C-alpha cells in the first residue's frame, strides 16, 4: 500500500494564479528545478534562516541550538482554475482575496459520509464565539450540538463516502481542504479535478439540508456598498464594529497580539479593536485616509513573548460587523472573516414571527438614572411590591455567584423575574439572556438556590407578601421578562435588537419554553440625559479606545 500523505489545498478564485496570488511582502523563493512537479505547476519554497529558540537565552544555554521553518506552495492549474497546495506554515503568504472562502467546507459537505463525522468547528457571529467539538466515535451532525439557526459551520472532519475512498481517506474542510491521500505527484491534477467537481456539486443539500441560514454575498456592487458602510463605521468608532482573531486559538501556546502595516507595534495580551486604534494613533494615521486596501494590508499578528510572529491575519479578515443597506430592505448583512454574508430572508421572517409575539409593553417605570443598579433600586422604592435582587446571589455555597434577577414582582398568581439591561450591545444582551435562563435552571436543579431566594424575599417583603411570593416560586408559578432600556420605538419589536441578539434571544426563549416558563421581552423608555452623552462618546475614536469588551455589536 502506498504511503498516505497530508495535503492542505486552496482553490483560487477565477483570475488568480501564481502571478498574482502572493502578498507583495512574501519571503518565498521560486524553485525552478523540481524533478516531479506536474506540468505547468509553479513551486515556491520557504527556506528561513536558522535561529535559536527564545528559551536558549532565557536559561543561558551555551549549546548551539537552532530551529528553522521550511515550507512550500505549489500552484497547480486545473481546467480553467488554479489550486494552491500548501506544505508547512506558508499559506498566510496568499492574499486573502485570492482564494475561495468556502472551498474546503463545500468539498467536505459533498464528500463526507454524513453518518461518519468526527469533528466540527463552529462560529456564533453574535459573540464571535468559536467552538470545536470532537467525538470519540463517528457520528451524525446532530450529535455535535450544532445550532443551524445561530451558528456558521466553519469546518467539518470525517470519513469520505465509499466512492471517494480510493482517492481520499479522511478530509477536513474549512477555507482550505486538508486531506490524507496516497496519490503521487503525477496524479495531483486528477485529484484536483475531482475536488473541483465536488466543490461545484449540490449534493450537500441532500446530505445536510438547511445546514446554514447564512448566504455569501457575491454581487460586486453590493459588496462595494457594504464596504462603504464598514469604512463609515470604522472612521466614526461605531461600536457595531469589532475585531477578533478569525481562528480557534490554542491559549496554552501563550500567544500575544501586535499589529503591522504602518510601522512597529507594541505587544498586547489580548485582542481589542481599541488596540488597533491606539496603534494607528501612535503612527499618527488619519482614519479618513484608511480604505479597504489599507485594512487588507494592515495585519493583526499573533506572536510569542519576544514578538516573534506566528500567525498573521489582515485587519479586514479580523473585523466583525453587522449592518443593512437601504436598497436591500429587509436584509441584514454580516462581515465575518473577510467575507460578507446575507442572512436568509426566510430566516429573518422566522425570527420575527417567533419573537414579535413575545414583545410586550413595559410595565416598569422609564429609565432616568445614572446606572442599572440605581434604576433597579429606585424601581423597588417606587413600588413596594417590587423586590430589588440586583447583585444578590442564590448559587450554592462555593459556586460562582448567580443573580436570580434584577427585580421580582409577585402578582396575579405569578412571580415575574425581571432582568434589566441598559444596552443594545449584542455581547451584553447575550449575557443578559443567558443569565436569565441560567437562573431558572439553577432554581430547577438546586433546592439550596430556592432556599436562598426565599431568604432574600422574606428579608425584603412583609410576612404576608413574602409568603405569597415564596409559594409561587416553590410551586414554579413564575415567568421571566427581559427589560431592555432603549430610546427606540417599542413598536419596532424584535427589530430593535441586532440580528445576532435576536438569534440569541430566540435560543433563550426556546430554552425557557422547554422548562414551561413563559418568557417575554419589553423595551423600557430611556429618558436619561446621560444617554446622549454616552452615545456621542461611543462614536468618537477615543470611545473605541476605551472599550472594555473584546466583542460587542450595537444597534443603538
Question: Sign of the CA dihedral 544, 547, 553, 556?
Answer: negative
The C-alpha cell at 391 is: 447583585
CA 400 to chain centre: 25
387 and 497 inside one domain: yes
Same domain, 337 and 351: no
In a domain, 545, yes or no: no
End-to-end CA distance of the chain: 62
Indicate if 154 and 200 belong to the same structural domain: yes
Give exposure, 299-326, as e/b (b: 16+ Cβ within 10 Å). bbbbbeeeeeeebebbbbbbbbbbbeee
Q: Write the CB contacts of 462 (distance below 8 Å, at least 6 apart in sequence).
A: none
Assess if residue 549 is contained within a domain.
Answer: no
Residue 277 lies in a domain: yes
Do residue 301 and residue 400 come from a single domain? Answer: no
Question: Does a structural domain hold residue 544?
Answer: no
Residue 283: DSSP 8-state: T
- Identify whether residues 197 and 229 lie together within a single domain: no
Which H, E and C letters describe 387-456, residue by residue?
Answer: EECCCCCCCCCCCCCCCCCCEEEEECCEEEEEEEECCCCHHHHHHHHHHHHHHHHHHHHCHHHHHHHHHH
In a domain, 542, yes or no: no
Specify the pLDDT at position 399: 81
168 and 266 together in one domain = no
Give the pLDDT score at 538: 28
**Which residues span the domain enclosing 180?**
5-208
Instruction: Look at residue 535 and tell me if it is in a domain.
Output: no
b/e 222-238 (16+ beta carbons within 10 angstroms → b) = bbebbbebbbebbebbb
The whole-number pLDDT of residue 362 equals: 93
The residues, any chain, with a CB within 8 Å of residue 397's CB and separated by 6 or more, are 448
Q: Are residues 357 and 331 in the same domain?
A: no
H/E/C letters for each residue in 141-202? Answer: HHHHCCCCCCCEEEEEEEEECHHHCCCCCEEEECCCEEEEECCCHHHHHHHHHHHHHHHHCC
Domain boundary among 138, 173, 208: 208
Cell, residue 145: 450540538
Q: Has residue 550 been placed in a domain?
A: no
The pLDDT of residue 474? 95
Q: Report mean pLDDT in 10-residue bins for the chain, 556 residues.
A: 82 92 89 85 90 89 89 93 92 87 85 84 66 77 62 77 81 86 89 92 75 65 90 87 73 74 82 87 91 92 76 88 76 81 77 94 90 90 87 87 92 93 73 91 94 93 90 95 90 83 88 95 83 27 33 31
Q: Which of 522, 519, 520, 430 is nearest to 485 (CA)?
A: 522
200 and 52, same domain (yes or no): yes
Among candidate residues 290, 320, 343, the one where a domain is terminated: 343
Residue 379 contacts residue 388 (beta carbons within 8 Å): yes
Q: Are 332 and 392 members of one domain?
A: no
- 529/523 Cα distance (integer angstroms): 18
Q: 303, 322, 343: which is the final residue of a domain?
A: 343
Assigned C-alpha cell, 134: 470532537
345's grid cell: 430572508
Number of domains composing the chain: 3
Q: Are 242 and 319 in contact (CB under 8 A)?
A: yes
Query: Is residue 548 a part of any domain in this protein?
Result: no
Instruction: Judge if pTM exceeds 0.75.
Output: no
Same domain (yes/no): 404, 319:
no
Q: Are residues 351 and 240 in the same domain?
A: no
Spatial separation of the C-alpha atoms in residues 209 and 472, rounded to whole Å: 44
Tell me, yes or no, whether 500 and 444 share the same domain: yes
* Per-residue model confidence (pLDDT) at position 532: 29
Amino acid at each position: 500500500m502506498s504511503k498516505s500523505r497530508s495535503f492542505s489545498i486552496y482553490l483560487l478564485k477565477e483570475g488568480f494564479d501564481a502571478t498574482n496570488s502572493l502578498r507583495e511582502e512574501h519571503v518565498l523563493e521560486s524553485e525552478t528545478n523540481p524533478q516531479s512537479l506536474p506540468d505547468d505547476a509553479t513551486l515556491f519554497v520557504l527556506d528561513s534562516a536558522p535561529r535559536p529558540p527564545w528559551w536558549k537565552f532565557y536559561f543561558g544555554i551555551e549549546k548551539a541550538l537552532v530551529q528553522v521553518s521550511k515550507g512550500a506552495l505549489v500552484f497547480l492549474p486545473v481546467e480553467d482554475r488554479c489550486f494552491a497546495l500548501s506544505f508547512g506554515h506558508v499559506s498566510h503568504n496568499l492574499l486573502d482575496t485570492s482564494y475561495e472562502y468556502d472551498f474546503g467546507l463545500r468539498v467536505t459537505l459533498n464528500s463526507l459520509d454524513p453518518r461518519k463525522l468526527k469533528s466540527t468547528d463552529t462560529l456564533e457571529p453574535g459573540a464571535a464565539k468559536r467552538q470545536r467539538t470532537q467525538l470519540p466515535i463517528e457520528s451524525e451532525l446532530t450529535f455535535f450540538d450544532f445550532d443551524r439557526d445561530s451558528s456558521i459551520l466553519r469546518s467539518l472532519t470525517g470519513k469520505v463516502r465509499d466512492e471517494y475512498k480510493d482517492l481520499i481517506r479522511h478530509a477536513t474542510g474549512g477555507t482550505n481542504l486538508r486531506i490524507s491521500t496516497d496519490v503521487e505527484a503525477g496524479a495531483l491534477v486528477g485529484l484536483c479535478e475531482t475536488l473541483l467537481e465536488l466543490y461545484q456539486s449540490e449534493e450537500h443539500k441532500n446530505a445536510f439540508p438547511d445546514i446554514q441560514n447564512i448566504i455569501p454575498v457575491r454581487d460586486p456592487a453590493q459588496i462595494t456598498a457594504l464596504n462603504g458602510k464598514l469604512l463609515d463605521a470604522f472612521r466614526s468608532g461605531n461600536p457595531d464594529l469589532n475585531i477578533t482573531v478569525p481562528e480557534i486559538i490554542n491559549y496554552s501556546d501563550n500567544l500575544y497580539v501586535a499589529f503591522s502595516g504602518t510601522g512597529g507595534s507594541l505587544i498586547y495580551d489580548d485582542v481589542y479593536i481599541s488596540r488597533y486604534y491606539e496603534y494607528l494613533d501612535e503612527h499618527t494615521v488619519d482614519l479618513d485616509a484608511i480604505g479597504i486596501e489599507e485594512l487588507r494590508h494592515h495585519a493583526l499578528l499573533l506572536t510569542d513573548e519576544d514578538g516573534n510572529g506566528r500567525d498573521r491575519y489582515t485587519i479586514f479578515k479580523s473585523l466583525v460587523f453587522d449592518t443593512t443597506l437601504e436598497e436591500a430592505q429587509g436584509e441584514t448583512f454580516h462581515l465575518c472573516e473577510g467575507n460578507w454574508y446575507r442572512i436568509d430572508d426566510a430566516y429573518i421572517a422566522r425570527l420575527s414571527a417567533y419573537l414579535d409575539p413575545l414583545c410586550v409593553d413595559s410595565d416598569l417605570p422609564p429609565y432616568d438614572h445614572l446606572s442599572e443598579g440605581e434604576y433597579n433600586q429606585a424601581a423597588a422604592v417606587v413600588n413596594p411590591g417590587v423586590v430589588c435582587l440586583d447583585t444578590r446571589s442564590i448559587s450554592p455555597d462555593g459556586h460562582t455567584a448567580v443573580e436570580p434577577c434584577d427585580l421580582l414582582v409577585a402578582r396575579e398568581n405569578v412571580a415575574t423575574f425581571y432582568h434589566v439591561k441598559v444596552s443594545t450591545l449584542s455581547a451584553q444582551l447575550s449575557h443578559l439572556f443567558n443569565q436569565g435562563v441560567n437562573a431558572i435552571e439553577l432554581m430547577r436543579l438546586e433546592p439550596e438556590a430556592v432556599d436562598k431566594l426565599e431568604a432574600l424575599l422574606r428579608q425584603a417583603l412583609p410576612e404576608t407578601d413574602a409568603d405569597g411570593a415564596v409559594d409561587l416560586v416553590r410551586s414554579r408559578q413564575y415567568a421571566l421578562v427581559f427589560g431592555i432600556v432603549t430610546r427606540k420605538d417599542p413598536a419596532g419589536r424584535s427589530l430593535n435588537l441586532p440580528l445576532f441578539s435576536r438569534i440569541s434571544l430566540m435560543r433563550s426563549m426556546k430554552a425557557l419554553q422547554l422548562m414551561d416558563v413563559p418568557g417575554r421581552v419589553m423595551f423600557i423608555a430611556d429618558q436619561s440625559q446621560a444617554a446622549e452623552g454616552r452615545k456621542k462618546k461611543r462614536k468618537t475614536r477615543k470611545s473605541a479606545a476605551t472599550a472594555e469588551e473584546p466583542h460587542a455589536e450595537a444597534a443603538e
